């Protein structure tokens, strides 16, 4: 009996030690794993998100590009599986993307540009950079509909954070375009969009051009609000993103690892 008890105790110790040793290890590459962010200062600032690490992650000390995807209003809530409905998280495991993908879920009845979601996004990004091997000069932001608006807003509030942005059919304000005119930007919209009029993207693209920017702008002549399925299914879109670094538009001395401005609640 003593031998049996000793074996059980040893097994329990090994199991417990294994848990401790694996607690800080990154998730296995190739799958999207649920993660959570909680602000240490504000209980309301919390986000669940899907984390995808590419195959080959951890085999070298080289940092990886990071793509952040912001979903639309229909995927808000507390069921992370909804985030896989559209965009990169829908495709990640099948395509085997060569970058880290972070896909947060916005709480119900909040928009990405509003508190507590927006400050939580910034906190989440800081935490992801601390935990994982992220190339800080190759962080990209994209989103659709409400997430397209969130893409415009976040980039305008923190205009030296991202290497490139890819907003799809998102509402925007012209002043945001002036703030991100320097950023490599590819905008997508459906000409027949009944939910977010094409004029929303047209106006901010023109504001960027007026401020010296050179955004790419793709209009799908027959598309309605769903201009994202064709966009995210086009692997050339990811190639375009990954071909940019912050060195494309920033002097090294001007780079800052933290947000320039405090998050502001939107309307």
**pLDDT for residue 247:** 83
Q: Which CATH number does the domain 30-254 belong to among 3.40.50.1820, 3.40.50.10360, 3.40.50.300, 3.40.50.720?
A: 3.40.50.1820
Residue 24's pLDDT is: 52
Q: What is the pLDDT of residue 258?
A: 42
pLDDT < 70 regions, the chain: 1-25, 250-267
Quote the CA–CA distance of 35 and 17 in Å, as a whole number.
Answer: 22
Residue boundaries of the structural domains of the chain? 30-254
Residue 166 has a pLDDT of 98
Residues 6+ apart with CB under 8 A from 251: none
Q: What is residue 185's DSSP assignment?
A: B
Contacts of 134 (CB under 8 A, 6+ apart): 63, 64, 66, 100, 128
**pLDDT at residue 44 in the model:** 94
Which residues have a Cβ under 8 Å from the Cβ of 85 and sit 6 or more positions away? 71, 74, 75
Task: Give the tokens for residue 4.
Answer: 């049996």
Q: What is the pLDDT at residue 38?
A: 96
Given this model, what pLDDT does residue 2 score?
A: 42
Length in residues, the chain: 267
pLDDT of amino acid 251: 56
pTM of the model: 0.85
């Amino acid at each position: 009996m003593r031998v049996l008890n000793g074996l059980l105790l040893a097994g329990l110790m090994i199991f417990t030690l294994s848990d401790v040793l694996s607690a800080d290890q990154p998730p296995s590459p190739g799958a999207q794993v649920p993660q959570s962010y909680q602000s240490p200062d504000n209980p309301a600032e919390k986000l669940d998100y899907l984390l995808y690490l590419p195959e080959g992650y951890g085999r070298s000390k080289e940092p990886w590009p990071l793509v952040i995807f912001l979903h639309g209003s229909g995927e808000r809530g507390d069921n992370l599986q909804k985030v896989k409905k559209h965009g990169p998280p829908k495709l990640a495991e099948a395509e085997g993307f060569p970058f880290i993908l972070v896909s947060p879920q916005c709480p119900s009845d909040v928009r990405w540009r509003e508190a507590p979601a927006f400050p939580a996004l910034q906190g989440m990004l800081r935490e992801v950079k601390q935990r994982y091997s992220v190339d800080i000069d190759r962080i990209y932001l994209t989103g659709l509909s409400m997430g397209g608006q969130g893409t415009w807003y976040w980039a305008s509030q923190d205009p030296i954070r991202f290497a490139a942005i890819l907003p799809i059919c998102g509402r925007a304000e012209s002043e945001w375009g002036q703030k991100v005119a320097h950023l490599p930007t590819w905008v997508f919209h459906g000409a027949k969009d009944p939910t977010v009029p094409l004029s929303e993207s047209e106006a901010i693209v023109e504001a960027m051009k007026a401020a010296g920017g050179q955004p790419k702008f793709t209009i799908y002549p027959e598309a309605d609000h769903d201009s994202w399925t064709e966009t995210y299914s086009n692997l050339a879109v990811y190639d375009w993103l990954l071909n940019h670094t912050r060195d494309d538009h920033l002097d090294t001395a001007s780079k800052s690892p933290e947000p320039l401005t405090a998050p502001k609640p939107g309307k």
